[in-house]
Amino acid sequence: MKKHQHHAETEAVRGGTDLHKKNGPLATPIYQTSTFEVTDSDQQVRATSTDMFYTRYGNPTHTVAEKAIAELEGADAALLFASGMNAITTSILSLLKSGDHVVAQRDIYGGATKFFSQWLPKLGIETTFVDTVEYDQHARAIQPNTKLLYLESPTNPVLRVVDLRKVTALARQHNLITFIDSTFATPINQRPADFGIDLIMHSGTKYYAGHADLICGIVAGRKDLITTIHETRTTLGGTMDPHAAWLLLRGIKTLAVRVQRQNDNALRVAQFLAQHARVRRVHYPFVEGHPQRPLAMEQMQGGGGVLSFEVDGSGEDARQLSEALHLFTLAPSLGGVESLVTIPVLTSHGMISPEHRQKMGVTEQLIRLSVGIENADDLIADLEQALTVVTGTHQHAQVG
């Protein structure tokens, strides 16, 4: 895919905009319109394949954001969707047909698990779920009709890191399309296209937008695949609203600085939790002692703002702790400037069967934090006071 001309911090601020234009508005205008006027039928015909025809097909505000994203990801092209789930479902429906087979890692977002296990079988598309980091299992699951390898890294909520070199080598050997949910990493911390991943998906709702004020999905990647997915998006209709696309674009300009601060804060919080007597286990790949730290440091620039930990107590202890926090707001979602706390079995993983959750390591004691851009000392002090509600004590937390 494309070579980067600038560093990520520069691409985040300047990407997608035409640096040579003169006397234009510095901020991208919002084309808040459903349709575009033409002067005659010839112009109408020419307009149909552009971003100034009808907004379900595309819109100039989308185009600027899509170009900025493609630059940041180092991908040929990018597309916006009405939600992260819409980006996943539209892409998969676009690339697969009845009789095809998918190999998917087990630790993927709950909505994607549901789509693969409950919806795709109705269309004659089967999925085999494999252990996320057991690559022999991936290889064994591949069948003659396997078309796609579905990945997520780092995973939600226990932050497993997938070896991108290993999975792309396997996919190449079997001619599979690789599709990764890279939401937790952001292009500031990880650029899967540089490892040869074909399609990179984000819930843009999270870090890309960054302010918990919009819902959006993103897919970036190979031009031929993006063209196919674009056609399907037009048919299925999951286009983003132009005003939300403009808010997203504004969020992208501060993506690099937000994520760098979130990396620093989350590492500090993980280090604090790893030495706390009332914590049984900490999941954060950049913390010292994590078995996947060498891999994470090799393929990522930072660990990101999400981490999870198990309290040394009961599910009830975990609930009480989450309610005792003041600076971490009790809410699902992640990636915004405010710190949030959630209990995955009650939110993101509530729709997954207990057996499947067990295999993922998602217990009732597990708490997920999305660390924001506040002062790290304040966040740690808040956790310190809230941890007093937990009854059990351990010598040292396990990491990973």
Ligand X SMILES: Cc1ncc(COP(=O)(O)O)c(C=O)c1O
Q: Kindly list the residues in this chain that would bind ligand X in the complex (CB under 6 A).
A: 83-85, 109, 111, 156, 181, 183, 203, 205, 215, 217, 333, 348
Cα–Cα dist 313/267, whole Å: 23
Q: 139 — phi, psi (to 5°)?
A: -60, -45
Give the contacts of 352 (CB within 8 A, at least 6 positions apart). Answer: 110, 113, 114, 360, 362
- Residue 137 or 333: the one with the smaller Cβ distance to ligand X is 333
Centre a 10 Å sphere on the Cβ of residue 114 and count the other Cβ atoms it contains.
Answer: 13
- Residue 99 or 119: the one with the smaller Cβ distance to ligand X is 119
Q: Which two tokens stand for residue 325?
A: 């926090």
Q: How far is the CB of 95 from ligand X (least distance, A)?
A: 17
DSSP secondary structure letter of residue 117: I
Q: How far is the CB of 384 from ligand X (least distance, A)?
A: 27
**Residue 215 CA to its chain's centroid (Å):** 13
Q: Which secondary structure element, helix H or strand E, spans residue 70, and what is its range?
A: helix 60-73
- Residue 115 or 286: the one with the smaller Cβ distance to ligand X is 115
Q: How far is the CB of 227 from ligand X (least distance, A)?
A: 23
Check the CA dihedral 275-280-286-291 and report its sign. positive
Q: How far is the CB of 110 from ligand X (least distance, A)?
A: 8
Q: How far is the CB of 140 from ligand X (least distance, A)?
A: 26
Q: Please, is 190 exposed, middle or buried when counting C-beta atoms within 10 Å of its C-beta (0-12, 13-18, 19+)? A: buried
Q: Which two tokens stand for residue 275?
A: 């030495």
- Residue 156 or 232: the one with the smaller Cβ distance to ligand X is 156
Q: How far is the CB of 348 from ligand X (least distance, A)?
A: 6
Cα–Cα dist 312/364, whole Å: 11
Catalytic positions are 56, 109, 181, 206
Rounded (5°) CA angle 185-186-191 = 85
- Residue 142 or 239: the one with the smaller Cβ distance to ligand X is 239
- Residue 31 or 109: the one with the smaller Cβ distance to ligand X is 109
- Residues comprising the chain, all counted: 400
Cα–Cα dist 75/85, whole Å: 21
